[in-house]
């Protein structure tokens, strides 16, 4: 990966938005290249080898879902979707097509920055995954399949562990219902959302102090789940 | 003359009527001979007039069963038979006897008169029967039309009744928004539209007549009432199958007027509905406008002020000031953004019907997500949740139920002092499950418990709090769309606003343990 500042490919048609993102992200230590439409974006992806893609769903030439699909055919690069409120369904489709996370417009640059950092962590998938993952008081030992809260081991079932490990693998990023159902129960159970809800509920009761106001296992209504990342 | 018949048995009916004519004439011929045979052995016992009476009876019977023509034939045939066999001289057509001559003459006159009378009686009976049939048909049509709730249904009823009554295949063409007739989406009868010409129909629709019809056997009839044409009835008339020119009859007119009246009723009902909708849209627009002017102006003023100060002061501005102004712009813009998305959401939900995307959900997740999204505005306010673990999966639209919770919690935050707690609880009830959101504020003014759910209603004393008065209306609409009810009460009679939602419970799907087990590591 890039040893110096990470390079972001920003595909967004609004010039003003591009300008302010470039300025504020530049201050936070990112380098940015811009594309005003999907085709240019895909071309730049091949030529400039960026580390991350930030993709606006409403592009003039092609919709965000097909951009995501085309992009996934040629690269494994992390993709962050920028969506407006009215594009709820498109957002989920783009996530299922391979985008890694989303941010609803309007957003603060602080929020964008932390999402990008979470995505950057995902790039390190190529390296051996850290054996022990920690966020706040939650510690997950992936090698030993053990989970600790406040250094006390929590007893969890294999399925719960698999769900948790999906969230750990993309900590800070959203995991869609579809993705989790497919990975744990298989593609034929894609519509059995109640499986997921029941097991996530059990997991919440084991890991959260107040399951109705979770600190780690956040629900993204209508989309999926996200494991919150806190500095320890 | 118009007779009701069905197309299905048309052919056989025509055959039957022609064969029955021949049968009538046959009886007209045969009857006098039968009378002759009856009279022959009695010729010595009976006198001429009595024998004539038998003939008269025969003619009368023929008139009764086979109509006027056959009876005249019978009477004309009776005369020579009587003259030949019974009137002296026998076996000659000559009649010497004056009595027999007068008798024969009277018989002919009486036979014709009775035949005529009978024929009239028959015709009257037939007419009465027809009238009754038509009255029945009209009654059935109007009864069916009353049931019809939309154009599609009216069209189906009309076409079916026209087919049953007149035996013609027809179709109703309606105009679209632009006033152009269009082909129907669904055919009420399994009939072909192949000869229907839209241009001809359009001409009838607009001018009530066609200059030069493309197919002379396709008939276009404007369904009009009170000088308004509501649709065009197109009939494919196969001349062999139906009464000619049946559509010129008053009965057909009545039939069509009935259909046109129903269409008019529908038209007016639609207009009324449209007017109500428009009025609602209008008041929604007004409410949105006032919300925008009240709630968006304040942050806009601050943003303009701060940005203006930044621009004007230029290099004189201290770094601290720059930082401050930037923060003001950022915060206020954020506030505006929250507010606009809220207003837009409300407008979207309020303008149309709510479409539910229901799925099996865990209430805890929805509550958790709502609280997470409101983290910033909740701050350090205690939120106490009581969600029993025995609450099963609920069949709801999670996004909308989250919206309900967000609205209720935001309301609680808006109308209670900071630090005042909020309670969220749920429990299984006898008929389903209950969700309660309660605060510890001043409560809802007495008597306003229903009023708060009305669109555009806001508590007047709290106008500075902003809001367009759609939040609770939207909540109730969402809960009702789920088949539930929502009410507002005060916890202690006069303080502590409490919103109680009762929702139906559905049997949750069984978890197939085998399938779940398949996921073991």
DSSP secondary structure string for all residues of chain A: --SSSPEEEEE-S-HHHHHHHHHHHHHTT-EEEEESSHHHHHHHHHHH--SEEEEES--SSS-HHHHHHHHHHH----EEEEE-GGGHHHHHHHHHTT--EEEESS--HHHHHHHHHHHHHHHGGGSPPPSEEEETTEEEETTTTEEEETTEEE---HHHHHHHHHHHHTTTSEEEHHHHHHHHH-GGGTT-HHHHHHHHHHHHHHH-SSTTS-SSEEEETTTEEEE-----
Contact B364, A201 (CB under 8 A): yes
Q: Would an 8 Å CB–CB cutoff place B518 in contact with chain A?
A: yes
pLDDT at B373 over 90: no
pLDDT at B464 over 60: no
Which residue in this structure is represented by tokens 């082909």? B183
The long-range contacts involving B55-59, CB below 8 angstroms and separated by at least 24 positions, are B55/B81, B55/B82, B55/B107, B55/B111, B56/B107, B56/B110, B56/B111, B58/B31, B58/B32, B58/B34, B59/B31, B59/B32, B59/B107, B59/B111, B59/B114, B59/B115
Tens of pLDDT, residue by residue over B257-307, are 888 888 888 888 888 888 887 777 777 677 667 666 666 777 888 898 888
Q: Residue B257: is it exposed, middle or buried by C-beta count within 10 angstroms (0-12/13-18/19+)? A: middle
Q: Which residues contact B452 (CB under 8 A, 6 or more apart)?
A: B444, B459, B472, B488
Cα A56 from Cα A15, distance rounded (Å)? 12
Q: Which of the residue ranges A61-65, B200-204, B381-385, B515-519 would you say has the lowest mean pLDDT?
A: B515-519
> Residues A176, A180, A186, A188: what is their CA dihedral angle, to the nearest 10 degrees?
-40
Contact B170, B162 (CB under 8 A): yes
Cα B256 from Cα B172, distance rounded (Å)? 11
> According to the model, what pLDDT value does residue B462 have?
45
CA distance A186 to chain B (A): 8
Q: Provide the token pair at B26.
A: 């046959």
User: How many beta-carbon pairs under 8 angstroms link A with B?
Assistant: 90
Q: Would an 8 Å CB–CB cutoff place B380 in contact with chain A?
A: no
Contact B302, B332 (CB under 8 A): yes
Distances from the Cα of B208 to the Cα of B4, B191, B232, angstroms: 27, 24, 9
Three-state DSSP at B134 gives helix
Cα A92 from Cα A224, distance rounded (Å)? 9
CA distance A92 to chain B (A): 13
In sequence order, what are the beta bridge partners of A8?
Answer: A32, A52
> Does the beta-carbon distance from A213 to B387 stay under 8 Å?
no
Q: Would an 8 Å CB–CB cutoff place A125 in contact with chain B?
A: no
Across the beta sheet with A174-176, what order do the strands follow?
A: A174-176, A224-227, A217-220
Closest CA to B159 of B192, B128, B129: B192
Contact B364, B403 (CB under 8 A): no
Q: Would an 8 Å CB–CB cutoff place B362 in contact with chain A?
A: yes
pLDDT at B8 over 60: no
User: Mean pLDDT over residues B464-491, rounded?
Assistant: 79
> According to the model, what pLDDT value does residue B521 have?
38
Q: Which residues contact B436 (CB under 8 A, 6 or more apart)?
A: B423, B424, B425, B426, B498, B499, B500, B501
CA distance A120 to chain B (A): 24
Tens of pLDDT, residue by residue over B102-111, are 877 887 888 7
Residues of A in contact with B384 (CB under 8 A): none
Cα B42 from Cα B44, distance rounded (Å)? 5
pLDDT at B461 over 60: no
Task: Report chain B's mean pLDDT, rounded to a whole number.
Answer: 80
Across the beta sheet with B432-439, what order do the strands follow?
A: B383-386, B422-428, B432-439, B497-504, B485-490
The pair phi, psi for residue B358, each rounded to 5°, is -80, 145
> According to the model, what pLDDT value does residue B243 have?
66
pTM: 0.59
Closest CA to B206 of B235, B239, B187, B179: B179
Closest CA to A232 of A155, A123, A150, A128: A150
Q: Provide the token pair at A54.
A: 């930030």
Cα B261 from Cα B223, distance rounded (Å)? 9
- pLDDT band (50, 70, 90) for residue B311: confident
Q: Provide the token pair at B347.
A: 């407008």
Q: Would an 8 Å CB–CB cutoff place B264 in contact with chain A?
A: no
Cα B103 from Cα B75, distance rounded (Å)? 13
From the list A145, A194, A222, which residue is nearest B509 (CB)?
Answer: A194
Q: How many CB atoms lie within 10 A of CB B406?
A: 20
Three-state DSSP at B223 gives strand
Dihedral over Cα of B184, B188, B194, B195: its sign? negative
- Block mean pLDDT (10 aa), chain A, length 232: 75 88 87 91 91 89 88 90 76 88 83 87 62 89 91 92 91 90 90 89 92 92 90 66
Distances from the Cα of B11 to the Cα of B159, B173, B190, B257, angstroms: 22, 30, 21, 30
Q: Which of the residue ranges A74-88, B376-390, B427-441 would you say has the lowest mean pLDDT?
A: A74-88
ipTM for the predicted complex comes to 0.83
Looking at chain B, which residue has its C-alpha nearest residue A192?
Answer: B360
Q: Would an 8 Å CB–CB cutoff place A194 in contact with chain B?
A: yes
> Does the beta-carbon distance from B393 to A197 stay under 8 Å?
yes
Which strand (E) or helix (H) includes residue B500? strand B497-504
- pLDDT band (50, 70, 90) for residue B349: low
Distances from the Cα of B121 to the Cα of B68, B124, B127, angstroms: 11, 5, 10
Q: Would an 8 Å CB–CB cutoff place A108 in contact with chain B?
A: yes
DSSP symbol at B315 = G
Q: Provide the token pair at B365.
A: 């997740």
Q: Would an 8 Å CB–CB cutoff place A148 in contact with chain B?
A: no
A216 half-sphere exposure, CB direction, 13 A CA radius: 25
Contact B232, B181 (CB under 8 A): yes
Cα A70 from Cα A144, distance rounded (Å)? 38
> According to the model, what pLDDT value does residue B434 have?
94
Pick from B516, B517, B518, B520 the residue to mutate for testing the A interface (most A CBs within 10 Å): B516
CA A44 to centroid of chain Cα atoms: 22
pLDDT at B475 over 90: no
Q: Would an 8 Å CB–CB cutoff place B364 in contact with chain A?
A: yes
Q: How many CB atoms lie within 10 A of CB B480?
A: 13
Of residues B45 and A18, more confidently modeled: A18
> According to the model, what pLDDT value does residue A64 have?
84
> Residues A145, A151, A155, A156: what is their CA dihedral angle, to the nearest 10 degrees?
-50
Contact B484, A152 (CB under 8 A): no
Cα B498 from Cα B495, distance rounded (Å)? 9
Looking at chain A, which residue has its C-alpha nearest residue B515?
Answer: A185
> According to the model, what pLDDT value does residue A189 have?
87
Q: Provide the token pair at A148.
A: 């600790």
- pLDDT band (50, 70, 90) for residue B456: low
In sequence order, what are the beta bridge partners of A133?
Answer: A140
> Residues B325, B326, B329, B334: what is their CA dihedral angle, to the nearest 10 degrees?
-140
pLDDT at B57 over 80: yes
Distances from the Cα of A228 to the Cα of A107, A173, B32, B478, angstroms: 18, 8, 112, 30
The pair phi, psi for residue B425, each rounded to 5°, is -140, 160
Q: Which residues contact B355 (CB under 8 A, 6 or more apart)?
A: none
> According to the model, what pLDDT value does residue B147 have?
84
Contact B195, B215 (CB under 8 A): yes
Cα B326 from Cα B307, distance rounded (Å)? 8
Contact B332, A106 (CB under 8 A): no
Across the beta sheet with A31-35, what order do the strands follow?
A: A31-35, A7-11, A52-56, A79-83, A101-104
pLDDT at B36 over 80: yes
Tens of pLDDT, residue by residue over B178-234, are 778 887 776 656 565 667 777 788 888 888 777 666 777 788 888 888 788 888 888
**Distance, first Cα to last Cα, chain B:** 87
Looking at chain A, which residue has its C-alpha nearest residue B360?
Answer: A194
Looking at chain A, which residue has its C-alpha nearest residue B367?
Answer: A212
């Amino acid at each position: 990966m890039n040893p110096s500042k990470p390079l972001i490919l920003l595909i967004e048609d609004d010039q003003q938005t591009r300008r302010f993102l470039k300025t504020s992200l530049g201050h936070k230590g990112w380098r940015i290249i811009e594309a005003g439409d999907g085709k240019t974006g895909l071309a730049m992806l091949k030529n400039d080898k960026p580390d991350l893609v930030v993709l606006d769903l409403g592009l003039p030439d092609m919709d965000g879902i097909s951009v995501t699909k085309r992009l996934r055919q040629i690269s494994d690069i992390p993709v962050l979707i920028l969506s407006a409120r009215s594009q709820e369904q498109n957002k989920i489709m783009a996530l299922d097509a391979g985008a890694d996370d989303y941010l609803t417009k309007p957003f603060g640059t602080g929020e964008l920055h932390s999402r990008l950092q979470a995505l950057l962590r995902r790039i390190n998938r190529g390296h051996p995954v850290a054996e022990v993952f920690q966020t706040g008081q939650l510690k997950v030992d992936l090698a030993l399949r053990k989970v600790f809260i406040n250094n006390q081991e929590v007893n969890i079932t294999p399925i719960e562990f698999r769900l948790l490990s999906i969230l750990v693998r993309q900590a800070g990023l959203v995991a869609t219902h579809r993705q989790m159902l497919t990975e744990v129960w298989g593609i034929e159970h894609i519509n059995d959302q109640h499986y997921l809800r029941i097991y996530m509920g059990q997991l919440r009761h084991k890991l959260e102090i107040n399951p109705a106001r979770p600190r780690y296992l956040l629900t993204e209504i209508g989309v999926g789940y996200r494991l919150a990342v806190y500095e320890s | 003359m118009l007779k009701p018949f069905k197309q299905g048995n048309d052919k056989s009916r025509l055959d039957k009527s022609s064969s029955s004519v021949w049968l009538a004439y046959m009886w007209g011929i045969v009857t006098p001979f039968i009378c002759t045979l009856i009279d022959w052995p009695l010729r010595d016992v009976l006198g001429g007039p009595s024998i004539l009476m038998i003939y008269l009876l025969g003619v009368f019977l023929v008139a009764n069963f086979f109509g006027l023509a056959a009876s005249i034939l019978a009477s004309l045939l009776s005369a020579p038979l009587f003259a030949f066999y019974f009137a002296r001289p026998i076996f000659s057509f000559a009649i010497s006897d004056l009595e027999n001559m007068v008798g024969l003459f009277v018989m002919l006159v009486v036979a014709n008169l009775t035949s005529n009378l009978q024929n009239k009686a028959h015709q009257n009976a037939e007419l009465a029967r027809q009238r009754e049939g038509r009255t029945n048909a009209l009654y059935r049509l109007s009864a069916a039309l009353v049931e019809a709730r939309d154009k599609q249904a009216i069209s189906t009823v009309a076409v079916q009744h026209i087919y049953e009554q007149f035996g013609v295949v027809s179709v109703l063409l309606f105009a679209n928004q632009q006033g152009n007739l269009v082909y129907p989406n669904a055919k009420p009868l399994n009939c072909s539209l192949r000869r229907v010409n839209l241009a001809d129909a359009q001409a009838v629709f607009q001018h009530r007549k066609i200059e030069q019809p493309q197919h002379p056997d396709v008939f276009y009839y404007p369904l009009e009432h009170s000088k308004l044409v509501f649709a065009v009835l197109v009939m494919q008339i196969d001349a062999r199958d139906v009464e000619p020119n049946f559509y010129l009859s008053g009965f057909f007119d009545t039939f069509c007027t009935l259909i046109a009246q129903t269409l008019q009723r529908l038209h007016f009902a639609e207009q009324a509905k449209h007017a109500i909708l428009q009025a609602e849209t209008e008041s929604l627009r007004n409410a949105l406008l006032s919300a925008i002017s009240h709630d968006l102006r304040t942050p806009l003023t601050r943003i303009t002020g701060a940005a203006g100060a930044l621009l004007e002061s230029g290099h004189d501005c201290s770094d601290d000031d720059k930082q401050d102004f930037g923060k003001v712009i950022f915060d206020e813009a954020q506030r505006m953004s929250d507010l606009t998305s809220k207003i837009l959401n409300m407008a979207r939900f309020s303008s149309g019907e709510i479409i539910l995307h229901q799925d099996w959900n865990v209430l805890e997740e929805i509550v958790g997500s709502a609280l997470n999204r409101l983290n910033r505005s909740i701050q350090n306010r205690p939120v106490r949740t009581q969600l029993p673990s025995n609450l099963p999966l609920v069949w709801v639209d999670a996004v909308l139920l989250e919206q309900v919770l967000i609205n209720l919690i935001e309301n609680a935050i808006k109308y209670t002092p900071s630090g005042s707690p909020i309670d969220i609880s749920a429990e299984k009830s006898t008929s389903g499950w209950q969700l309660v959101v309660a605060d510890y504020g001043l409560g809802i003014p007495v008597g306003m418990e229903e009023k708060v759910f009305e669109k555009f209603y806001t508590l007047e004393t709290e106008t500075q709090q902003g809001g367009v008065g759609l939040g609770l209306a939207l909540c109730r609409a969402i809960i009702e769309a789920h088949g539930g009810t929502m009410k507002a009460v005060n916890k202690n009679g006069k303080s502590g606003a409490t919103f109680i939602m009762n929702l139906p419970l559905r049997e949750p799907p069984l978890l197939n343990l085998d399938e779940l087990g398949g996921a073991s590591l």
